[in-house]
Amino acid sequence: MNLDIYQVDAFSGKCFGGNPAAVIPLNEWLPDATLQKIASENNLSETAFFIQKNGHFDLRWFTPVFEVDLCGHATLATAHVLWQELGFEKDSIKFQSKSGELGVKRDDRLYVLDFPTDRLEKTEVPDIIKASLNVNILEIYKGREDYLLLLESQSVLESLKPNFNKLAELKTRGVIATSTGSDVDFVSRCFFPYFGIDEDPVTGSAHTTLAPFWSEKLGKTTMTARQISPRGGFLKIESKGERTAIAGEAVTYLKGKVFI
């Protein structure tokens, strides 16, 4: 069996930036174990698989270790492949996923994701987070999958050196650390060692958690953001109540074949 594979740098306007995702179109679903092995072999933070079905696309995402319920950058990468590589002609795309219906539309050079907004509850700092980050945490919340930590400044965020072995003991997707930004409204870093990703380069889904938090803090619904990983990425965010719009660019890095 031969499968087409594309590798896309999402949330970046040029190669070697943003978050790389593999995208593999399928005619029908392969066994879950096979999908997981392909994702593990790719060894990227996410591999997206999709099939066309009744006017929409069914979409699934796998890290090297687990299937996940929601992934922003690999959804953006999939939309990029459909429009730029596979000739999809409509102005918007509907994906069915484990997180319900997800939309993507084009806005000039940007792809705009329509995702469900996360719900946050204030909580106490787990001992594992204290031990693995060793930093002053101003506020902490728990969302659908992640802990959200507010730190004092961008410089503090940049200086974080987590103990990933310790942080992996948290047994949830991970931690989003954030602060106000020097040239954008807010910045973040995302650590997901339990899912096999020590630091994710750019995390679209994390911004469904960050959007309501910063919208309330800043008193605005439209914001700019950077994820300040070594690769880095720029995002435009709109907090729309139950939904969050997340916009960014994408570029194709690689086209190839998977031989099974």
C-alpha 145/C-alpha 36 separation (Å) is 20
> Looking up tokens 């709109």, which residue turns up?
238
Tokens describing residue 163: 């103990």
3-class secondary-structure state, position 229: coil
Q: Which of 11, 9, 7 is nearest to 246 (CA)?
A: 11
Strand partners, 96: 58, 101
> Looking up tokens 């698989």, which residue turns up?
49
Give the start-end residues of each E strand in 155-249.
Answer: 174-180, 186-192, 197-200, 222-227, 233-240, 243-248
Question: H or E stretch including 52?
Answer: strand 46-53
Q: Which of 41, 46, 124, 238 is catalytic?
A: 46
Contact 184/235 with Cβ under 8 angstroms? no
Strand partners, 256: 5
Torsion of Cα atoms, 92 then 85 then 49 then 189, to 10°: -80
In this structure, the number of other CB atoms found within 10 A of the CB of residue 211 comes to: 26
Which amino acid is it at 46?
E
| Eight-state DSSP code of residue 15 | T
Strand partners, 236: 224, 247
Note if 169 is an active site residue: no
Q: Which active-site residues does the annotation give?
A: 46
